[in-house]
């Protein structure tokens, strides 16, 4: 494999050792001990991969110098892949380096096989990104800078065994990120099992996650494996992790620390072999509040943190997403293919999209079903205040439909809804509009709809929302 590798390290012995290791495999391997010489070197040719030490000044261990150099490297027109290096394992520093665009983090002294594998992976990621291929799951759509960075970060994190916490607002695609991590991991042949932690009743928490034995409680008529056992050899995606009660958090922490679980009614613990990917829409600051989330559990879960950007921070991806979902629902509902008018497209790109990609998807489904013109108009998507107004309208229509005698569909339709819209469709519209009104907040939406959170979760699953 031919590549141009640069080793930027203030220790000449370390740089030479890496050069001797990598030269036979990659061909051209240069070393640089003084960061001041980097601009001149980049002016001649940008390397394919840079092994970047994060500390240069004697006694300095905060990584600030290396992170500043990382920013300069990532600012290049065709940026190199960067592998950050430090003489000690500092998790916050590693996370910050990965957040800023490093593809990997290696501690010195390194394992030779580990270093070669890291360079191979870095070259593969760079080739994929520059070739326009997606480095992550094709479901993670978008070619904006924010999405390219997200895909590159996933590609760097996925092959490791590190636990990953995915942060982001409702509807940004946190589960898609989890699936992309699993698909590119060494566990890809195993199961990815998703668990909605916010919907697990505390009374059945241990049974659901750890399993139970026959007769361990009243309805335990047979042995049952828990989610940890069912995902053995694969990955376990713990969604809505921030909604777990503190008591349940303590039980999860014990399982992760001991790497074993004891099914209810069992005498002996069972070893577990899963990689944990968790996700929450809580603001990051709230995770550090001990009254909300246990610090020791957070430490176990957030070895690597991936922050998924909201749609308003990657507006250039909106036309691609609109095209994808409109075509999808046109086919699903056998509706004619139409383009979005220029005026509507401009407004849709400017829209802040509370609810993010999920809200855009719902808007596209509504437009595909209800749009009547030769082109999609802005009104077909029911944005802004219209979404809030729709909440009451659809909820009232659903209630009227439920109370009306058979054959009264025309009267309901007189309120502005299609006469063939079913009660299920009305319920789905009401839920989608309410979620949009509250920016995807499950608790507020459930309260407004007059149902419990658990009931709302069941309806979201029923309607595929």
**What is 114-177 written as a DSSP string?**
HHHHHHHHHHHHHHHHHTT--SS-TTS---SHHHHHHHHHHHHHTTS---EEEE--TTS-HHHH
List domains and CATH numbers for the chain: 3-133 (3.40.50.2300), 159-309 (3.40.50.300), 312-463 (1.10.8.60)
pLDDT digits (tens, 9 = 90+) for 303-346: 999 999 999 999 999 998 998 889 888 888 888 888 899 999 99
Look at residue 407 and tell me whether its pLDDT is greater than 80: no
Average pLDDT (399-421) is 42
Please compute the mean of the pLDDT values over residues 211-225 and round it to a whole number: 82
- pLDDT for the residue 42: 87
Q: What is the mean pLDDT of residues 44-57?
A: 89
Per-residue pLDDT, 49: 93
pLDDT at res. 108: 83
- Please report which helix (H) or strand (E) contains residue 279, including its range: strand 275-280
pLDDT grade for 140, boundaries at 50, 70 and 90? confident
What would the mean pLDDT of 349-362 be, rounded to a whole number?
93
- Residues 41-66 have a mean pLDDT of 86
| Residue-wise DSSP of 310-353 | PGGG-GGGHHHHHHHHHHHHHHHTT----PBPHHHHHHHHHS--
Q: Both tokens of residue 86?
A: 């430090």
Q: By percentage, how much of the chain surpasses pLDDT 70?
A: 86
Residue 326 is encoded by which pair of tokens?
């409109």
Please choose, from the candidates 23, 125, 112, 136, the residue with its C-alpha nearest in 3D space to the C-alpha of residue 80: 125
Quick one: average pLDDT of 350-369? 93
Nearest alpha-carbon partner for 134 in 146, 148, 124: 148
pLDDT band at 106 (very low <50, low <70, confident <90, very high): confident
C-alpha distances in angstroms, 305 versus 54, 240, 282, 298? 20, 15, 13, 11
The per-residue pLDDT for 127 is 67
In angstroms, the CA 86 to CA 93 distance is 9
Q: What's the farthest any 2 CA atoms get from each other in the chain?
A: 86
Confidence of residue 444 (pLDDT cuts 50, 70, 90): confident
User: Among 19-33, 354-368, 441-455, whose mean pLDDT is lowest?
Assistant: 441-455
Predicted confidence (pLDDT) per residue in 423-441, tens digit: 677 788 888 888 877 767 7
Quickly tell me which residue has 């978008």 as its tokens.
142
How buried is residue 396: exposed, middle or buried, by Cβ count under 10 Å (0-12/13-18/19+)?
Answer: middle
Ranges 101-110, 124-133, 195-204, 390-399: which has the least confidence: 390-399
Q: CB count, 10 Å around CB of 84?
A: 27
Least confident of 115-124, 208-217, 229-238: 115-124
In this prediction, residue 291 carries a pLDDT of 92
Q: Give the number of residues written for the chain.
A: 465
Please tell me which of 14-23, 94-103, 112-121, 190-199 the model is most confident about, judged by mean pLDDT.
14-23
């Amino acid at each position: 494999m031919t590549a141009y590798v640069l080793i930027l390290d203030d220790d000449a012995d370390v740089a030479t050792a890496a050069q001797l290791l990598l030269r036979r495999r990659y061909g051209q391997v240069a070393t640089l001990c003084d960061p001041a010489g980097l601009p001149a070197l980049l002016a001649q040719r940008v390397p394919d991969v840079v092994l970047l030490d994060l500390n240069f000044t004697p006694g300095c261990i905060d990584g600030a110098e290396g992170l500043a150099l990382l920013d300069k490297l990532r600012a290049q027109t065709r940026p190199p892949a960067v592998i950050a290096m430090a003489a000690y394992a500092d998790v916050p520093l590693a996370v910050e380096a990965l957040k800023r665009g490093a593809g990997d983090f290696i501690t010195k002294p390194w394992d030779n096989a580990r270093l070669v594998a890291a360079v191979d992976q870095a070259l593969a990621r760079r080739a994929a990104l520059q070739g326009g291929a997606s480095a992550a799951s094709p479901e993670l759509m978008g070619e904006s800078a924010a999405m390219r960075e997200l895909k590159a970060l996933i590609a760097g994190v996925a092959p490791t065994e590190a636990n990953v916490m995915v942060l982001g607002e409702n509807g940004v695609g946190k589960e898609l990120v989890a699936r992309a991590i699993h698909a590119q991991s060494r566990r890809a042949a195993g199961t990815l099992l998703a668990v909605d932690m916010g919907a697990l009743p505390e009374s059945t928490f241990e049974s659901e996650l750890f399993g139970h034995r026959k007769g361990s409680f009243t309805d335990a008529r047979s042995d049952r494996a828990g989610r940890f056992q069912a995902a053995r050899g694969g990955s376990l995606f713990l969604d809505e992790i921030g909604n777990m009660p503190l008591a349940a958090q303590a039980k999860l922490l014990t399982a992760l620390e001991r790497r074993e679980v004891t099914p209810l009614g069992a005498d002996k613990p069972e070893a577990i072999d899963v990689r944990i990917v968790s996700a929450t829409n809580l603001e990051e600051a709230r995770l550090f509040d001990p009254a909300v989330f246990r610090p020791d559990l957070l430490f176990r879960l957030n070895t690597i943190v991936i922050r998924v950007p909201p749609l308003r921070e990657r507006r250039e991806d909106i036309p691609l997403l609109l095209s994808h979902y409109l075509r999808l629902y046109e086919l699903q509902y056998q509706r004619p293919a139409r383009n979005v008018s220029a005026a509507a497209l401009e407004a849709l790109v400017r829209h802040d999209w509370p609810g993010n990609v999920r809200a855009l998807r719902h808007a596209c489904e509504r437009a595909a079903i209800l749009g009547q013109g030769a082109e999609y108009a802005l009104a077909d998507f029911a944005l802004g205040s219209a979404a809030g107004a729709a909440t009451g309208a659809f909820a009232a229509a659903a209630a009227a439909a439920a109370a009306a005698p058979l054959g009264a569909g025309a009267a309901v339709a007189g309120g502005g809804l299609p006469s063939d819209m079913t009660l299920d469709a009305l319920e789905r519209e009401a839920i989608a509009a309410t979620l949009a009104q509250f920016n995807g907040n499950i608790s507020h939406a459930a309260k407004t709809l007059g149902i419990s959170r658990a009931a709302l979760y069941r309806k979201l699953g029923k309607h595929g929302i």
